[in-house]
Amino acid sequence: MTVDAMIEDLRTLVEIESPSGDLEALTVSAQAVAALVETRLGGTASLVESAAGPHVRWSGGGEPRILILGHHDTVFPIGTLARRPFAVSDGRVTGPGVFDMLGGLVQAIHGLAALEDLTGVEILVTADEETGSHESRALIEERARACGSVLVFEGAADGGGLKIGRKGCGTFEVVITGRASHAGLEPEAGINALTEAAHQVLAIVALDRPEVGTSVTPTVASAGTASNVVPASATVVVDVRVESAAEKERVEAGFAALTPRLDGAEVVVRGGIHRPPMPESAAADLFAVAERLLPGVAGVAVGGGSDGNLTAAVGVPTLDGLGAVGGGAHADHEYLLVGSMMERANLVTGLVAAIRGD
């Protein structure tokens, strides 16, 4: 295992663009991930077809005990690579997806390759994490329960910390229906969906409770067709983050209770909190092992969600943030620190050995 080999494997994955929802691109990406796993670890990696694109599964044989969990889809559209090509300079690797989370996949594979025996180890690399894991969720939960321990290779927290807790997260879409009319000739004949949306936004932000870690944030709104037409429809999209199951229930109940303020208007709420909170208790035992292997490593609770939320929610011990050390997820300045690659790969080796009791 060498850093140069890891960088070249990372280059291979990054230079195959894999935006969520692009089935053709994701198929090519899944094939590349499977080929890398087979080359470094042996055996056969299978593609699990889904409506969101292929997931990649591999097993080291024997009774399943440890699930290595990641995703190969990225948020960047085709063409990003031409504008921001893979590069290594001044101790940093840059390019679309290096931090979130192709670098973590490569480090995990190389860390496993250092083990002589991979019995009990499974790998699952999904195709739809960035869009909510709707197609992969059942498979993730099934394999997590079967294995009993989950290591998630999302990018590390700031400074290289491991992620021991995550907020639950979700998206709501509030759709308002009114009635169009001429804004000058007979505005009173219309039902202004934009005005109704304003009422709903005020009701929505009232659900926000930052003092207990809950954020309810309207992020996208649209309404109207022309400057002289009373809007017949409007839509408000809301990002929600919660730290507890109780807050999840409260916020979802709040959205369900939204009612129109204008006579004749209709309000329909879609979506929900699709990733439940990942409590720190889910990571406690695995983090204690990681601390012994990497003294001084921090454990951090973060606001973003991952598939670790799903595995923790079904009661399986889960440690997250084991992937690349760097930053800039989803941004043009995304980067991975070369100097941390070997240390993180070695952490994988040690964690797997410790969990199995080698």
Annotation marks residue 90 as catalytic: no
AA identity, residue 46:
S
H or E element that contains 174: strand 168-177
Helix, strand and coil content of the chain, in percent to the nearest 5, comes to: 40, 25, 35
Contact 214, 247 (CB under 8 A): yes
Annotation marks residue 307 as catalytic: no
Strands 335-337 and 150-152: unpaired
Strands 335-337 and 266-275: unpaired
Tell me the Ramachandran region of residue 328: left when phi exceeds 0, alpha when psi lies from -120 to 50, beta otherwise: left
Pick the catalytic residue from 122, 129, 320, 334. Answer: 129
Query: DSSP 3-state assignment of 35?
Result: helix
Tokens in use for 330? 């989803």
**In angstroms, what CA-CA distances link 83 with 8, 157, 225, 295, 299?**
20, 27, 35, 39, 35
Contact 315, 285 (CB under 8 A): no
Contact 47, 56 (CB under 8 A): yes
Pick the catalytic residue from 22, 73, 130, 154. Answer: 73
Residues forming beta bridges with residue 126, ordered by sequence position? 71
**In angstroms, what CA-CA distances link 156 with 22, 69, 70, 321, 326?**
26, 14, 13, 4, 7
* Residue pointed to by tokens 């990942």: 278
User: Which active-site residues does the annotation give?
Assistant: 73, 129
